[in-house]
């Protein structure tokens, strides 16, 4: 049964409601420049009017290729106000990727930073994009900061050809609509209309467009707010990028509908985040596990006051127990009582749908479903529920489930299935188990299995064992070809003390694995690295290591 009531409103309308309730609260802080909710709403309305004046309308797709900056928020909600669909992509995407995203979404417009236009230029004529709005990172900075930015990096940015008819500068666009004008809200828009396209990480090959509605995001915002509870005085470090469900759904939308403050972090470094923690005293932050690992090594954290934190969330990848325990200890040693909580999510449900409740950490578990989300384990390839403690495929249901995959009706049909209970369930493709109390234990992506001598081995399980070793900071395990066993395991390990790498250390870790794992799961080789390759959202890029290995 639904325990929360979901308003029949768009994302824009919920943010507008927050702006009317808390007009003088700070909505965002970007490199020291702040905006109140009143100003943010005016900026969104002004931009929406300018877009309508240019002929954009309900259902038009627009690619948003921006880091966490004011224009990303303003443009996103302006598109939502007029009923256009925002296709969110990584600003560092290569030209071939940009071409794929523009075509896949059928975008008629795009917005990006002037520094990234060079990646759009070679592919535009092969797409349906008519106009590219170019923003500058310093559009919303103070004159002093603007001058500093120009000297630091702005002068290196090559300006596009002034004669290019497709280019429309951000400030030119806004100048086309008189200040203070706000087109009326279109009452024909429904919270169930397509509103956002996010892309799966492409871990199984080509990225898939995932179509989401305002209702999906609003439901997530109201569900995650119950975990705090999030108050209008709360501050979050918005580090995760806005092209990612967690970054957009939790670190921006959840806080903007609650009247909170988002500290926008356009580019992550452990040093800059440590400085922001000290300066902003946030109540919340969310990140991938590698972010917390980097903060644990950051010198500036040694003197930080962490009593401000209510909760820190880790998502997007498995959280090694050692990282959780060390980060919790860091918080306790610096005046705080918060803990680092793990969750589970996937873009097909915007992001998090299962979260560890405060004070209820169970080793190996990602937690319990958020309010109004349901979870069950089924025998793989079936709709039959498995008994507690049995491994099977995780299925989730609830109001954050996607509308479907873009241009892939067959794939949508095989992922969103109506079971005999009459409920539409999302088949996640992830192997999990659930205990008697409903706590979910994530095992592995079903597709990520290595067969050693014909035995199915989970690299994730091996990584868990390695990560639990006190000398190991991070690990990644892949399958490599073998004459006799067909495949064996190779582990890539980052040590807490990189100088400790040696053949003796490799032997010691292999012996440690032998104590904790069945024979087939023990890596044949361990290679020490200073760091591991990461995906665009900071997960360990195991595919990159597989490709690297295949090329050797």
Residue 242 corresponds to which tokens in the numbers above? Answer: 């806005």
Residue 51 corresponds to which tokens in the numbers above? Answer: 């877009």
Q: Give the whole-angstrom CA distance, residue 79 versus residue 47.
A: 9
Model pLDDT for residues 127-142, shown as the tens digit of each residue? 999 999 999 988 888 7
Residue 181 pLDDT > 60: yes
Quote the pLDDT of residue 315: 79
Closest CA to 210 of 2, 449, 426: 426
Q: Give the whole-angstrom CA distance, residue 60 versus residue 105.
A: 10
In the block, tokens 């905006």 appear at 35
Residue 524 corresponds to which tokens in the numbers above? Answer: 């044949």
Quote the pLDDT of residue 1: 41
Quote the pLDDT of residue 195: 98
Residue 530 pLDDT > 70: yes
Q: Above pLDDT 70, what percent of the chain?
A: 94
DSSP 5: -
Residue 312 pLDDT > 60: yes
Q: Give the whole-angstrom CA distance, residue 270 versus residue 46.
A: 36
The strand ranges marked E within 140-292 are 167-169, 194-199, 209-213, 235-238, 261-264, 284-287
- Give start and end residues of each alpha helix (H) in 281-342: 289-297, 321-333
Q: For strand 235-238 and strand 26-30, is the pairing parallel, antiparallel, or unpaired?
A: unpaired
Quote the pLDDT of residue 182: 80
Q: How far apart are the first and last CA of the chain?
A: 54
Most confident of 176-180, 484-488, 489-493: 489-493
**86 in Cβ contact with 196 (< 8 Å):** yes
Q: Give the whole-angstrom CA distance, residue 418 versus residue 441.
A: 24
**Which residue did the predictor score with more confidence, 155 or 532?**
532
**Residue partners of 26: CB distance under 8 A and separation at least 6:** 34, 35, 36, 37, 261
**474 in Cβ contact with 494 (< 8 Å):** yes
Residue 464 pLDDT > 90: no
Lowest pLDDT segment from 89-93, 163-167, 409-413, 447-451: 447-451
**Which residue did the predictor score with more confidence, 539 or 389?**
389
In the block, tokens 């999990």 appear at 432
Residue 531 pLDDT > 50: yes
What torsion do the CA atoms of 133, 138, 143, 146 make, to the nearest 10 degrees? Answer: -130
Residue 266 pLDDT > 80: yes
Residue 486 falls in which region: left (phi positive, over 0), alpha (psi -120 to 50) or beta: left
**30 in Cβ contact with 137 (< 8 Å):** no
Quote the pLDDT of residue 205: 47
**Which residue did the predictor score with more confidence, 453 or 56?**
56
**Residue partners of 503: CB distance under 8 A and separation at least 6:** none
Burial environment of residue 447 by CB neighbours within 10 A (0 to 12, 13 to 18, 19 or more):
exposed
**19 in Cβ contact with 41 (< 8 Å):** yes
Mean pLDDT score of the chain: 90
Quote the pLDDT of residue 305: 94
Residue 552 pLDDT > 90: no
Residue 337 corresponds to which tokens in the numbers above? Answer: 């009582």
**390 in Cβ contact with 213 (< 8 Å):** no
Quote the pLDDT of residue 203: 38
Q: Is 372 helix (H, G, I), strand (E, B) or coil?
A: coil
Residue 334 corresponds to which tokens in the numbers above? Answer: 């610096």
Residue 548 pLDDT > 50: yes
- Give start and end residues of each alpha helix (H) in 83-190: 95-105, 117-120, 143-152, 170-175
Residue 204 pLDDT > 70: no
């Amino acid at each position: 049964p639904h325990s929360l009531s979901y308003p029949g409103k768009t994302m824009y309308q919920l943010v507008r409601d927050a702006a009317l309730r808390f007009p003088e609260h700070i909505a965002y802080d970007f490199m020291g420049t702040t905006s109140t909710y009143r100003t943010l709403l005016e900026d969104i309305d002004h931009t929406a009017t300018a877009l309508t004046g240019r002929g954009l309308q309900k259902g038009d797709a627009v690619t948003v290729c921006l880091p966490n900056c004011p224009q990303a928020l303003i443009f996103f909600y302006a598109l939502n106000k007029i009923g256009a669909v925002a296709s969110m992509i990584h600003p560092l995407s290569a030209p071939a990727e940009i071409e794929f995203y523009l075509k896949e979404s059928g975008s008629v417009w795009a917005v990006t930073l002037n520094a990234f236009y060079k990646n759009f230029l070679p592919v535009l004529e092969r797409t349906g994009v008519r106009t590219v709005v170019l923003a500058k990172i310093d559009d919303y900075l103070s004159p002093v900061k603007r001058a500093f930015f120009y000297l630091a990096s702005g002068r290196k940015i090559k300006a596009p050809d002034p004669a290019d008819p497709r280019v429309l500068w951000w400030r030119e666009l806004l100048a086309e609509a008189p200040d203070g004008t706000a087109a009326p809200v279109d009452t024909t828009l429904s919270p169930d209309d397509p509103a956002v396209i996010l892309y799966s990480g492409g871990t199984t090959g080509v990225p898939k467009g995932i179509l989401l509605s305002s209702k999906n995001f609003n439901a997530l915002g109201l569900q995650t707010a119950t975990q705090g509870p999030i108050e209008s005085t709360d501050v979050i470090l918005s580090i995760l990028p806005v092209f990612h469900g967690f970054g957009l759904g939790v670190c921006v939308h959840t806080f903007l509908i609650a009247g909170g403050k988002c500290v926008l972090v356009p580019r992550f470094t452990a040093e800059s985040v440590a400085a922001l923690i000290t300066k902003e005293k946030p109540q919340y932050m969310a990140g991938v596990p590698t972010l917390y690992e980097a903060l644990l090594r950051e010198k500036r954290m040694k003197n930080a006051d962490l009593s401000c934190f209510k909760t820190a969330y880790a998502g997007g990848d498995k959280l090694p127990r050692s990282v959780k325990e060390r980060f919790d200890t860091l918080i306790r040693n610096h005046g705080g009582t918060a803990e680092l909580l793990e969750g589970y999510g996937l873009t097909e449900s915007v992001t998090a749908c299962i979260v560890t409740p405060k004070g209820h950490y169970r080793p190996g578990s990602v937690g319990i479903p958020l309010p109004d989300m349901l979870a069950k384990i089924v025998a793989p390839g079936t709709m039959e529920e498995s008994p507690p403690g049995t491994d099977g495929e995780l299925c989730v249901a609830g109001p954050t489930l996607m509308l479907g995959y873009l241009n892939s009706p067959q794939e949508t049909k095989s992922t969103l299935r109506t079971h005999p209970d009459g409920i539409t369930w999302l088949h996640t493709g992830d192997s999990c188990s659930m205990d008697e109390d409903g706590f979910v234990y994530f095992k592995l992506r079903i597709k990520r299995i290595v067969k050693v001598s014909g035995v199915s081995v989970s690299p994730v399980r091996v990584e868990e064992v390695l990560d639990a070793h006190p000398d190991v900071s991070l690990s990644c395990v892949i399958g490599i070809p073998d004459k006799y066993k067909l495949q064996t395991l190779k582990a890539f390990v980052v040590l807490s003390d990189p100088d400790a790498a040696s053949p003796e250390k490799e032997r010691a870790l292999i012996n440690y694995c032998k104590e904790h794992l069945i024979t087939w799961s023990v890596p044949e080789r361990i290679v020490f690295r200073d760091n591991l390759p990461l995906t665009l959202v900071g997960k360990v890029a195991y595919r990159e290591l597989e490709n690297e290995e295949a090329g050797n």
